[in-house]
Amino acid sequence: MIKKILQYPQDKDILLQKSEEVKNIDEIKDLIQDMKDTLNSDPSGAGISAVQIGELKRVCIIKYDNKEYTLINPVITWKRSGANGIKPFKEGCLSAPGVYTIVNRPQKVVCEYLDENGETQKLDQGGWLSAIIQHELDHLEGFCEVFKAVDKQNQ
């Protein structure tokens, strides 16, 4: 079912909260489907985190290169660092439509997570997919760089 995407700053009381670890994947099957339906309803979206539809669970869905990834309890276990490892990415957010900002991020990360079957998976990615992963995991921590740009615009 397509859900309403929370908007910043109107829904900041929820969007700025840290999400909780998922203990039982069977309990979030409907949530995962709702997130997929919601993400697929907006062609501009590359990813969505559960908090963006009001659920404080550590789950995100990413669409990239005709593939869809469901990340449950994702953790970045490695980031490329150093001056040559950081790259500027132009990012937007479904929770702040029409707002874009440049975010300097590690250009490559390794992310470990559980898939929908509870199997441990690993994404070892660079480039744009790396930025999407980092953006969605920021949401799980109650943070989004794009929200800072919204705040600047509203000053």
pLDDT number for residue 155 = 87
- pTM of the predicted structure, to 2 decimals: 0.96
pLDDT number for residue 81 = 81
Task: List the domains of the chain with CATH numbers.
Answer: 12-153 (3.90.45.10)
The dihedral region occupied by 139, where left means phi > 0, alpha psi between -120 and 50, and beta the remainder, is alpha
Task: Supply the mean pLDDT for the chain.
Answer: 96
Please name which of 139, 153, 123, 146 lies closest in space to residue 19, comparing C-alpha atoms.
Answer: 139
Mean pLDDT of all residues in 31-39: 98
Render pLDDT for 112-151 as a digit per residue (tens, 0 to 9). Answer: 999 999 999 999 999 999 999 999 999 999 999 999 999 9
Backbone angles phi, psi at 50, to 5 degrees: -55, -35
Tokens 């957010």: give the residue. Answer: 93
* Encoded tokens for 42: 């907006």
For residue 82, pLDDT over 80 is answered with: no
- Write down the catalytic residue from 27, 91, 136, 145: 136
Judge whether 141 counts as a catalytic residue: no
First-to-last CA distance in the chain?
36
